[in-house]
Amino acid sequence: MSWVCRLYRSSLGAKYVMASTGVLLLGFLIAHLLGNLQMFAGADAVNSYAESLRALGPLLWVARIGLLVIAGVHIVTALRLAKANEAARPVAYVKQASRQVKPQTKTMVLSGLVILGYVVYHLAHFTWGFVLHDYSTLVDTEGRHDVYSMVVYGFQCWWVSASYLVALALLALHLCHGITSAFQTFGLNHAKYATAIKLTGPAIATLLFLGYASIPVACWLGIVQILEGT
Amino acid sequence: MSAQQSGHQGHSTMKVTLHVWRQKDARDPGRMVGYPNVECSPDMSFLEMLDVLNERLMEKGEEPIAFDSDCREGICGACSLTVNGIPHGPRKGTTVCQLHMRSFEDGAELFIEPWRAKAFPVLRDLVVDRSAFDRIIEAGGFVSVRAGGCPDGNAIPVPKEEADQAMDAAACIGCGACVAACPNAAAMLFVGAKISHLRHLPQGQAEQKRRAQAMVDQMDSEGFGNCSNYLECEAVCPKEISVKVIAEMNRDYLSASLTREEQKNDGGGAG
Ligand code: HEM
Ligand code: FES
């Protein structure tokens, strides 16, 4: 057995995999948010950004497949760990109690699976155009795919916005624990930085939540809206 | 403590209702059995209260409740009872042998269960087999040097901070409360403590990487769970060992896996 397999099969190795893939996914979330925030810069900015992403052609596919593999490994490893953890305590305590188990930690599998479900729906809506199909075929005055209007019309639909916010909240919960936990997994624990590390998870999770949520909220408030002539 | 004590001055007695896990042997599925109104003194330790109950059971010709104990001073790690879902009971930093009945209200209802983990099979009632821990120590929790005679004090300089960290980790009495408390029944705090206490000392550093690999691999093969960073182990540890030792183990195992050449005589067995 090569050392890579041996590492992956070990309890700690699986955690390094969870933490590395988790941090890579977090990197994607940050990049995706920066792209999305261009909604505030207007239709032209978003549509030309979308156009330039599509123009990457094969590179875009490399990025997509890379993300898919990273997410797949994160999920498969998560389920493997969950199964092993359940098997490690075959007989449950009659009286259950705990001193500091936190709900966001207990619900990592649940929040993860909801995120997964939401991502599939999200792609069906904005990438594949299966949901609210009419808006996904809009074209702007320069003949580009009108992503800007698709998003604004999408968020005008209450259940699109509501499900978006719920999924975001669960993502934030996942990251509250996940990011802080990843430090410990990689062995980064020192009294000098303990408070900072403890706060990093909740801080990044909150920033991501506010950043992503700002877009539907701006759509409702009319800060981001469809302008005449687009 | 005085506030808690004031309720039960002098030679007063108190009563508790117990629900105790009874299991004849490893194959018996086991069940909770109720023992209402067990009379005891608030000054008794938890184990003395069980001794009293056992005497009463034996007088009636019933099987006494089997439980582990040895020093009853909080230093050996033999006692291992889960009281109301918390290993070693409600007092922080206290083994159950050092827990006094005055920590409970008169008339309290107490659920007493063994450590529950696949790697710690119940042998009888509240006694579990913790030899998995011994096998983890055998795999690497040692220093392979000829110790010779007693060396002069300070012959090998050790910085104070390092010595302190080694001593903090060495406080682990190997009771297994960390496993019992962990929602995943993981043994990370125990193994981390054993790795940490040797890695901070010069004598332990030569085998730092081999040790981390051998002990973690043995831990995995014993069927303990994985770490989800619940931090429950740290909260129940009677010696209040910090999860920092787990981070150190994570660091050692990672660097060992990435940089260490595998050797033929690896994998189990004391050197
Ligand atoms: C964008 C999406 C996601 C991000 C950024 C993310 C990030 C993370 C991070 C940083 C960790 C911490 C790893 C550690 O404890 O060291 C983690 C853990 C975890 N993730 Fe995710 N995750 C995502 C999606 C998912 C999905 C779809 C699942 C589906 C099952 C999932 C399940 C889990 C579980 C169960 C854990 C805890 C593993 C354990 O500690 O035992 N995650 N995630
Ligand atoms: S009996 Fe020795 S620590 Fe409790």
Full set of structural domains in chain B with CATH: 3-123 (3.10.20.30), 131-270 (1.10.1060.10)
Q: What are the chain B neighbours of A81 within 8 Å (beta carbons)? A: 226, 228
Q: Rounded distance, CA A85 to CA A88, Å?
A: 5
Q: Is the dihedral of CA A11, A12, A17, A19 positive or negative?
A: positive
B105-134 tens-digit pLDDT: 999 999 999 999 999 999 999 999 999 999
pLDDT of residue B264: 56
Residues 114-173 of A with CB under 8 A from B: none
Output phi, psi for B155, to 5 deg.
Answer: -65, -35
Domains of chain A: 2-221 (1.20.1300)
Q: State the closest ligand 1 atom to the C-alpha of A185, by its place in the atom list counted from 1.
A: 16
Average pLDDT over residues A103-118: 97
- Given a cut of 50, is residue A173 above it in pLDDT? yes
Distance A197 CA to ligand 1 centre (A): 17
At A137 the pLDDT is 86
The reply to whether ligand 1 has any atom less than 6 angstroms from the CB of A14 is no
Report d(CA B1, CA B101) in Å as an integer: 12
Closest by Cβ to A187, choosing from B32, B186, B248? B248
pLDDT at A54 over 70: yes
Q: What is the pTM of this model?
A: 0.93
Q: Using the CB atoms, write b or e for B28-47: b if 16+ within 10 Å.
A: eebeeeebeebebbbebbbb
Q: What is the ipTM of this complex?
A: 0.93
Do B224 and A188 lie within an 8 Å CB cutoff? no
Q: What is the pLDDT of residue B156?
A: 86
Put simply, the answer to whether A88 touches B223 (Cβ < 8 Å) is yes
| Residue that wins the pLDDT comparison between B31 and B4 | B31
